[in-house]
Structure formats: C-alpha cells, structure tokens
Amino acid sequence: MSELQVRGYIVSTTASYLRHRMADQHAKVFANLSPSLRKILDDIKPAQWYPVAAVSELNRVIVAEAGGNVDERARDELRKCGNHMAHEATNTFLKLFMKMLTPGLFAKKLPDLWSRDCSGGRLVVSADDKKLSCQFFDAAGYDHLGAVATGYVGFALEAMGKKIDKVVLRDWSVQQPNFNGVSFDLVWSVS
C-alpha cells in the first residue's frame, strides 16, 4: 500500500497559516523544515498530489510553536489552521453557495470532498439539526488531521450561518496525533 497523499493546496494553505502565525520568525522556522518539504514548497501546485508527510510536518511545527505538549493550545492552533485553510479554499462564489447549503447536504458531500483531496482513507459523516459528526479512518501518517478538520468543517458551518457552541474532539492528543478513528462533533444552537 502506498503512502497517503494530499492535494497541494492543503500543504500550501497550511504553510500560509504558519507564515501568518509566525510573522517575523517564519523565515527561521521555514529554514528548519526538511529539505524535501522546502523543495515541495518552492514549486507547489494546488491540484497536484504530495506525500501526506509534507502537511504532517507543518502540523507538527504548528504544535511545537503552540507550546508543544499542551493539548488545549495545540488543538486551538490546529483548529485555527483548518479555519484558515477553508477560508483560503473558498472564493466569493463558494461563500455564497455555502449560505444556501444545509448541514445535512454538506454532511453528504464531505466524504466526496475528502476523496477529492486525499488519495486514501475514509471519512464517515452524520448530521442532525444541531450537530455534525465526522470520523476518519485509515489515514495513517496524517498527523493532527482531526484537530485541523474541526476548523475546516467549522468554517463551512459558520458560512451557513451556524454559530458553533461546542467542539468535541475524540481520540486525539499531541502525544497521539493520528489515532485511527479520530472523530469530532461540532454542535450549534438551534434557533
């Protein structure tokens, strides 16, 4: 079985978040990235496939910059990264389209989006009138996927007019960044 791969935009928008987050120090941080990742970032193509190790390395840098082993700070930074990624991936037309979507329709399309952007693994999604739940399987090597996805999916729900009241992330920690079956719930108020 070959290594999981992701689309270039996932790597480039994660790098973009890190550049933004690090402001004046990003040159130093990027100089310490692996040579293979630096080479990818020099000529990245949004729709091309890249090894998941590239985005995982960037996610680990985000965790380190957030304070290392403190799950809450790392989870918050990774969520912000996912939110940034979704914002960058969504142009004006898509933002308008998102306002017409419902969480139920979005939940049905999420596994297709996963398949479009990741070469393997599986995403199981369910939704009701106040909660959307996601569970990832078989995404070996995609460190911190669950924490980042809470921001990505949360951005979409907020674009639909939902105010996220609670995020529950299960089977994830800084020490165990990719547990098969990592899952989360996003809960919003019903008006």
Q: How many percent of the chain have pLDDT more than 90?
A: 77
Looking at residue 126, its pLDDT comes to 97
Q: How confident is the model at residue 1 (pLDDT cuts 50, 70, 90)?
A: very low
Per-residue pLDDT averaged across 43-50, rounded? 96
Which of the 8 DSSP states describes residue 118? Answer: B
Residue 128 and residue 178 in contact, taking contact as beta carbons nearer than 8 Å: no
Residue 36 and residue 58 in contact, taking contact as beta carbons nearer than 8 Å: no
b (16+ CB within 10 A) / e for 109-120: ebeebbeebbeb
Domain ranges of the chain: 5-87, 91-188
Per-residue pLDDT averaged across 144-163, rounded? 95
Question: CA 148, CA 15: separation in Å to the nearest integer?
Answer: 13
Looking at residue 89, its pLDDT comes to 83
Query: Does 184 score more than 90 pLDDT?
Result: yes
Rg for the chain, CA atoms, rounded: 16
Looking at residue 90, its pLDDT comes to 82
Q: How confident is the model at residue 25 (pLDDT cuts 50, 70, 90)?
A: confident
pLDDT in tens, 67-97: 866 899 999 999 999 999 999 888 756 667 7
Query: Does 41 score more than 50 pLDDT?
Result: yes
Cα 122 to chain center, whole Å?
15
Looking at residue 21, its pLDDT comes to 87
Looking at residue 28, its pLDDT comes to 87
